[in-house]
Amino acid sequence: MFIAGPVGYTVSPLIPFDFLQAHPSPPSQRGRVKYCRLTGETVKRNPPPPLTAQAFERKNGRHCLRAAVSDYVRFALVDIREQAPEETVHLLFCRNLAFTYFDAPLRQRICRSFRDRIAQGGALIIGKHETIPPGITGFAPWEGRLPIYRKI
């Protein structure tokens, strides 16, 4: 399972570990980042305690994501106007950027490149005031009023 974007570190602990173990994808070392920037207060405020214990370990006074979680998140510097992500992804976040600030032809081109990189059944999550550009096929709304689209 691959999640694209920095938001992956937010949602990857929410993915059941049995799912991650049942769908092992050998993690690429390129672009892999260890996340150890959460303070104890941030961890206490956000995930519930059982999730905190399962997803985080203490290192040098900081909460760090366990490898079972962080191995499924990749960071890559990509100019989406020029190229798509290199790997197939299951979950791609592109909020408040491509579908807000770019002109219509570029929005369509970017959306098609995302569609080509998202695995069948995977999801594209965009900003709450954004929509898939007209004329783009291959996506269906996942959840009524939320800007979550499933690749079909």
User: Domain residues for 134?
Assistant: 84-151
The total number of structural domains that make up the chain: 2
Residue 107 has pLDDT above 90, yes or no: yes
Domain end residue (candidates: 53, 73, 93): 73
| Cα(22)–Cα(104) distance, integer angstroms | 40
Cα–Cα distance measured from residue 58 to residue 92, given in angstroms and rounded to the nearest whole number:
29
Question: pLDDT: is 117 or 90 the higher one?
Answer: 117
Q: Give yes or no: residues 65 and 95 share one domain.
A: no
> In the structure, what pLDDT confidence band is assigned to residue 51 with cuts at 50, 70 and 90?
low
Q: Are residues 17 and 61 in the same domain?
A: yes
Would residue 2 count as lying in a domain?
Answer: no
pLDDT at 131: 92
Higher per-residue confidence, 53 vs 3 = 53
Whether 35 and 90 map to the same domain: the answer is no
Single-letter amino acid code for the residue at 47: P
Q: Which residue has the tokens 């690749």?
A: 151
What burial class does residue 89 get, using C-beta atoms within 10 Å of its C-beta: 0-12 exposed, 13-18 middle, 19+ buried?
buried
